Structure 1
């Protein structure tokens, strides 16, 4: 290795919530052992930190202060591997990694059981946001995976891993149709002249530092940020009457929405939980009108997790054109009647920007304007294609499932959501999608985008994918030609990916170029511009 050190430090970063850490620890132990075997074969010893805590029943870092304590035991030049198997808060380790001088590898087991892959992409994107050089790597079989072993040896020898990036092309090199160029220029001119205010509540949800973007750079593309506080959202919820909340719930039921009702508030979805969510929906819509917002992002975790039920059903409602009417308390007019209110899950601004752009493009082209983000959760081959499992914690619009009659509302898993609340779940319908992601890396904004297809899979395959991930959450089974497992894992600049139905890639690229956002096109679709 570049440092010539023969001991590799394996760091187990984890969730803030001990319940999630306890459930995920057996898989973490399994992965640590597989990685230790692989490193031993290459002639390296390992030291695992932190040590297993018998009282907490896991060995994960759960706070930034714990991460700092761990790194205080490590020489600044030592090689470290951040080993991820569950969702982990990246800021636990990103702080100490900013001053670490040795080689850094972010590694995950390619398994969908827990969101470890999601955490890998988030850690990498957060380090890019903080200008920290590092490498990323993933595997299912470790020592039995020749490609993985070759790349692991490369990191051990050189301190970095190189990945094939030939699936990416700069949009500056592409020939976009003139009609799309004119469309993009016109939309960009409108955005720069009239601006689009983006409302972001309490930035930094669950340690996602990549979601905290420079307001100067975002404002320079015509999207000034309105920083909001979730305590104000909670206060507004208290002003919504029980009668208004009940009307929203009645509306959903009449539309055919299915609720998985129960009576135990600790494990089941209860009536009171959903009524509180209906109040959050009204409160969010009112705040959109009050501040003149074009998009809004509610993080929920951790600020509201101890205060009220989950925001996810609310988010699915907001992102849908067909949603319960909310009147402005002052004017009594319906707010954004018949239109979605763009909501970016977990307050992720890097998703909010492409969601807003896609939604406006769809509206101008008279196409369904609903968008959402998903986690890049997992994937596997199906009939010769690598089909991704895009899965988010509950906030996809029912229009993506085919309407409210295909939407299912489950209680959120107790280990993440102790106060419950419903999801807005369903199976995304088949069709062509445009996908995108905005990010900030090494001091510059960027945008990645492409075309994909949501596939309709057989019942057995679909159920197995849900079983291997989180069955309560909405799913999209997506094929991206020319952007399979190793391509997307190597280059995607976030744990989140934005999708909307319909091919508007030409107009999207043109708009980004007109706004001055450096843009990359991924996958085989870039061939159509040659």
Structure 2
């Protein structure tokens, strides 16, 4: 491989996050340059950060040298993908393994987006202060420098699992229901923040038994004005009576008030009205960035929609995927139906794979996302909103005041999943099982404050190694449910036409 290596910085669309992350980038760039130079390579920096697709096309398109994208905070996938798609020069995605700035989250999203458009790339990461001292990292970097790719360990990826007859029967019962009435997803906009991997469209969805109906989320600007104040007051009483704790007017949240929460509930009711009007089974809600300066954050509404206990509800969650991510929406809806068919609560949580660390001899992932978690995770009670805390969304990202739907996830066995598209455009369903783990308070607070304290928290053993997730997982998002529907979900996915990929430490018979 050529000795010269181009290093580029994929950025956020918004200027503030790029400014905040610049010190992390400069630190990581120096460490990466030192690592490359120790291997006899000559790194050079592409002007950045890349904050628009056009910048990626202009600055990365002409480069034929091997390239490394360095991810130190959230970055939009097009700020890499659009500059490298259609090219074949070696491409490596690198990240500092840090939860403070979600660079590894952006790496996972970009890797999955590249896969969906057929562009090969390898991945590499480290949490070392001196990258040259991380032997595993250096061995992998040397392999890429020599060959242009990194051969990954695939021992925890499985395509076979024996399914009990009872699981097959239940899966086909759920599939019969989908065949009787196909699933209608109400899409309030398309995927947000450059999530190329999160959009499937009718050509993929239709054979799976799903349909999408798109409603421009600009409709909400009108629809919130049609919601009667009495309904808002009833909804406000409902959430307070059921146990939500609101952190109004706290330091750095002085503009977060009861009025802000009422406006979030008005948005919840407007979306509920749209779902009823179009007889939708589930919802994908873009929100960011189009409504960012126009309406309060959607997160509190998304959390309510995914909860059993919700204003004007029917006792069941109305599955909602934040950021209009169909790669999570589809498995979330399937998991809900399987849970309920098995007599279990149909709550499914939407999370980012944010960061992780060792605790008591095993690696645990910190899962958290600003929206779309269910209250069930915090209390395991379908009739309550106890354990839900609503903090002001950080003003640097969300200028209009509004609250989150946060809490500490309860311990228990979990099933998790994600849908994605391979290089041929075929749908794949990842399935795994693991455990939500209760951490000592001091450990939990340290991990939580090292990420985003205002967002819902789960410490999870995903049943496979950190290396398998970082090297092979095809998303920054994951759908998580309490209870064992592992075999049923595999059977249902196969029957629907997915290629099912199982991520597990142990060989499955």
Answer whether contact 1:446 1:519 (CA < 8 A) is retained: yes
- 1:57-105 per-position Cα deviation (integer Å, ceiling 9, x unaligned): xx42211122223225x43x21111110110111122112113331111
TM-score, with length taken from structure 1: 0.92
Residue of structure 2 aligned with 1:25, choices 17, 22, 26:
22
Report what 1:53 is aligned to: none
Report what 2:341 is aligned to: 364
Structure 1 residue matching 2:283: 3-state secondary structure:
strand
Answer whether contact 2:300 2:404 (CA < 8 A) is retained: yes
Residue of structure 1 aligned with 2:182, choices 173, 191, 195:
195
Partners of 1:295 and 1:444 in 2: CA distance = 22
Report what 1:500 is aligned to: 481
Q: Which has the larger displacement, 316-325 or 182-191?
A: 182-191
Report what 1:158 is aligned to: 147
Q: Structure 1 unaligned runs (5+)?
A: 51-58, 326-335
Report what 2:355 is aligned to: 378
Structure 2 residue matching 1:26: 3-state secondary structure:
helix
Partners of 1:344 and 1:469 in 2: CA distance = 21
Report what 2:167 is aligned to: 180
Answer whether contact 2:59 2:83 (CA < 8 A) is retained: no
Partners of 2:428 and 2:50 in 1: CA distance = 31
Q: Which has the larger displacement, 159-168 or 189-198?
A: 189-198
Report what 2:100 is aligned to: 113
Partners of 2:315 and 2:207 in 1: CA distance = 30
The offset of 1:189, in angstroms, is 2.5
Partners of 1:108 and 1:215 in 2: CA distance = 34
- 1:435-485 per-position Cα deviation (integer Å, ceiling 9, x unaligned): 00001121110000111100000001000001110101001100123x121
- 1:39-70 per-position Cα deviation (integer Å, ceiling 9, x unaligned): 010011111121xxxxxxxx422111222232
Q: Structure 1 pair 394/515, CA: closer, same or farther in 2 (3 Å)?
A: closer
Written as runs of structure 1 = structure 2, the 5 A alignment for 1:114-513 is 114-141=101-128, 142-170=131-159, 173-262=160-249, 268-325=255-312, 337-402=314-379, 403-442=384-423, 443-481=425-463, 483-513=464-494
Residue 43 of structure 2 is aligned to residue 46 of structure 1? yes
Residue 71 of structure 2 is aligned to residue 84 of structure 1? yes
Structure 2 residue matching 1:207: 3-state secondary structure:
coil
Residue 59 of structure 2 is aligned to residue 60 of structure 1? no
- 1:253-272 per-position Cα deviation (integer Å, ceiling 9, x unaligned): 11221111118997642222
Structure 2 residue matching 1:15: 3-state secondary structure:
coil
Q: CA RMSD in A?
A: 1.5
Partners of 1:267 and 1:131 in 2: CA distance = 47
Residue 5 of structure 2 is aligned to residue 8 of structure 1? yes
Partners of 1:524 and 1:71 in 2: CA distance = 38
Answer whether contact 1:167 1:487 (CA < 8 A) is retained: yes
Q: Structure 1 pair 146/270, CA: closer, same or farther in 2 (3 Å)?
A: same
- 1:180-234 per-position Cα deviation (integer Å, ceiling 9, x unaligned): 1111122213212310011122213100000111321211010011112101123
Q: Which has the larger displacement, 204-213 or 59-68?
A: 59-68
Q: Which has the larger displacement, 272-281 or 315-324?
A: 272-281
Partners of 1:524 and 1:235 in 2: CA distance = 50
Partners of 2:418 and 2:254 in 1: CA distance = 35
Answer whether contact 1:10 1:48 (CA < 8 A) is retained: yes
The offset of 1:526, in angstroms, is 5.2
- 1:482-519 per-position Cα deviation (integer Å, ceiling 9, x unaligned): x1211111111100010011011111111111111110
Q: Which has the larger displacement, 506-515 or 349-358?
A: 506-515
Q: Structure 2 unaligned runs (5+)?
A: none
Structure 2 residue matching 1:261: 3-state secondary structure:
coil
Structure 2 residue matching 1:107: 3-state secondary structure:
strand
Q: State the aligned residue count.
A: 502
Partners of 2:498 and 2:179 in 1: CA distance = 13
Q: Structure 1 pair 267/21, CA: closer, same or farther in 2 (3 Å)?
A: farther
- 1:363-404 per-position Cα deviation (integer Å, ceiling 9, x unaligned): 111101111211000000001000110011133111110042
Structure 1 residue matching 2:183: 3-state secondary structure:
coil
The offset of 1:245, in angstroms, is 1.4
Answer whether contact 1:265 1:420 (CA < 8 A) is retained: no
TM-score, with length taken from structure 2: 0.96
Partners of 1:202 and 1:416 in 2: CA distance = 19
